[in-house]
Structure 1
Amino acid sequence: MVQADAVKPGVRWPGRERGRYRANRVSWRWIAVFCLPALALYGLFVVVPLVTAFYYGLFRWEGIRQAEFVGLGNYGEVLTRYPLSEEIPTALWHNVLFFVGTMAIQNTIGLGLAVLLYRNPRGKRFFQTVFSLPYLISPLIVGYIWSLLLSPAFGPVNFILRTVGLESWARPWLGEPDTALPVLILVNAWQWVGGPMLIFLAALGGIPRELEEAAAMDGASAFRTFWSVRFPLLMPAVGVITVLTFIGCFNIFDLVYALGGSDGGPGGAMDVLGLLYYRTAFEGGTNAIGESSALAMMIFACVFGVSVVLERFLRRREVTL
């Protein structure tokens, strides 16, 4: 006896396919509806300013009045005119040092804290909150607070050093070129260490325990287990943190402004590209709009280009490990 509703192989059912098509079409409509607000905000606050800056950089300006079209003339002016021709390499070098120091201190401490919290879950939520609180505060506020703490006149840091007998260590930390940039790196690491800690902690939680147990059964030490088993599996998290740290370090402005002012501290020891753009835009000459727009596009091209190269390089490293 043959069933009437039996499905024969090779037979198409237009009604069912039409229903699937409608379901897919409806789902794509809903996706578009939910993505549209985010795309609109992204276009309004990211794409439009970029296009506007690129457009402004192609013209010479007389105050706020647009003058003649100069093409890439503003870019050449920024790179060759004194003092910008000397300030750009110095500020770029400070950004590089700031990135390297932040990677070495902030992310190393973040990884160490993540490992400690992963091994000792008692009080985990409390310490996660404590270490994450600083990056919820505005960098401007953080900078002004630390400038008070490090004040050579009434700051508690120098007072404690004098109290414990380390008076030779007490100094104007933000007033000496040799200490200004290291202090900036330490303050920045203190504020943002919670971010890498949370990312590393989530990555550690995703590592199968069977791999660690197998390494322990083979006689591997705790350090060897971490270096040979855990760390290679943490490379995706390392890649994400490295790219985010690079972008943050090359976009730094507010913390440096709060600690060292628009000139970047003593002798420009903390001068970075963000401060240089600020001075060009608000303390420049009659063509400030054109030159600052050209400088902004150069900074964007540098950050975007290096971020893409870093991301691809780290992904290749993930594959080889």
Structure 2
Amino acid sequence: MQRKVPWHILVFLAPALLIYSVFSALPLLDTLRLSFFTTSESGHQTFTGLANYHTILFDPEWSHAFWNAMWNNCKFFLLHLLIQNPIGLLLATLLSLKSLKGAKTYRTLIFLPTLLSVVIIGFIWQLILSPLWGVGEKLMGFAGLADYFAPFLGDEGSALITLALISVWQFVGIPMMLIYAALLAVPEDIVEAAHVEGASSLRIFWEIKLPLILPTLGLVTILTFVGNFNAFDLIYSVKGAIAGPNYSTDILGTLFYRTFFGYQSQIGSPTMGAAVATMMFLVILSGVGAYFFFIQRKLQRFEL
């Protein structure tokens, strides 16, 4: 006998489903549709199949910009993965210690930058790091590092790294709070039993707490991946859509912006922009799919 779905469940799901369809699903499908067309000078759209994707991947002019943005995006993500998440884990572990005084104040201060606008953060750090009127050189001088000060945002080799570190500083509170909540959920009786058996705090963390919060660490990793491959606002607010110097901070988000809307001498193309956006979606979808297929299943078997 087929079980009927209660009508009130459909009523409560309808608003969320409607909003998701109108603002997420339908625009995504229309972007995919638009990527299969090309726009003439008169504005007329013609179906061209995969021609836009072939241009992005194999045309020398377009492919260089795309793979440069892709590589910068990968570096941007890896810097967050290797710096932000370990720091978040360390901070969460320290804040979960019962002997730590003022833990609530520390949590608030660390999480506070995540509530600020990225535009404000970018503008403030531009002022701090400016070689002309910034206080960065003076602050480094207090630590005896004034000789190492350089125009970090103006150098091709350091601009992307500097922006990634600014982003880490702003958003480290998010993985910290997620991991902190997972650490609080670790059963106290297991930890107390380990203490009774004579295990040190470090051993308890590595052999008990860390394995139990692995699903949360996996969630933090995939959120970091999605967030960084959708990144745009910090790069745009600090370096503009041109993502200088010499496109050294160009990522997929800024490439999409220039392609779709145009910038300076570059004429915008909605169809090519839709193709770039679809490539971004496929990259994110591939990363999330690989996580769930190769990692999430192992974590679930580990929990069992």
If the length of structure 2 is used for normalisation, what is the TM-score? 0.91
Aligned residue number for residue 25 of structure 2? 47
Contact 1:262 / 1:278 at 8 angstroms: preserved in 2?
yes
Flag structure 2 segments of 5+ consecutive residues without an equivalent: none
If the length of structure 1 is used for normalisation, what is the TM-score? 0.86
Q: Which amino acid aligns with 1:34?
A: F
> Structure 2 matches for 1:87-236, cutoff 5 A?
87-120=65-98, 122-162=101-141, 165-236=144-215
- Structure 1 residue 151 displacement after superposition: 0.8
Structure showing greater radius of gyration is 1
Aligned residue number for residue 218 of structure 2? 239
- Structure 1 residue 63 displacement after superposition: 5.0
Q: Which amino acid aligns with 2:269?
A: A
Contact 1:132 / 1:193 at 8 angstroms: preserved in 2?
yes
> Structure 2 matches for 1:13-32, cutoff 5 A?
28-32=6-10
CA–CA distance in 2 between the matches of 1:198 and 1:149? 27
Q: Which amino acid aligns with 2:245?
A: P
Aligned to 2:46, the other structure's residue is in SS state: strand
CA–CA distance in 2 between the matches of 1:170 and 1:290? 44
Q: Which amino acid aligns with 1:87?
A: A
Q: Deviations over 1:123-156 (max 9, x none)?
A: 3332222222211122222112211111111111
CA–CA distance in 1 between the matches of 2:244 and 2:213? 37
Aligned residue number for residue 273 of structure 2? 292
- Structure 1 residue 161 displacement after superposition: 2.5
Give the one of 30, 38, 47 matched to 1:60. Answer: 38
Q: Deviations over 1:215-263 (max 9, x none)?
A: 2233322221111100000111011101100000101001011222222
Identity %: 36
- Residues 151 and 90 (structure 1 numbering): CA distance in 2 closer, same or farther, change over 3 Å? same
What is the alpha-carbon root mean square deviation over aligned residues? 2.0
CA–CA distance in 1 between the matches of 2:95 and 2:42? 55
- Residues 143 and 35 (structure 1 numbering): CA distance in 2 closer, same or farther, change over 3 Å? same
Contact 2:261 / 2:267 at 8 angstroms: preserved in 1?
no
CA–CA distance in 1 between the matches of 2:268 and 2:160? 31
Aligned to 1:68, the other structure's residue is in SS state: strand
Contact 1:259 / 1:265 at 8 angstroms: preserved in 2?
no
Aligned residue number for residue 294 of structure 2? 313
Aligned to 2:168, the other structure's residue is in SS state: helix
Aligned to 2:44, the other structure's residue is in SS state: strand
Contact 1:91 / 1:273 at 8 angstroms: preserved in 2?
yes
Q: Which amino acid aligns with 1:305?
A: S
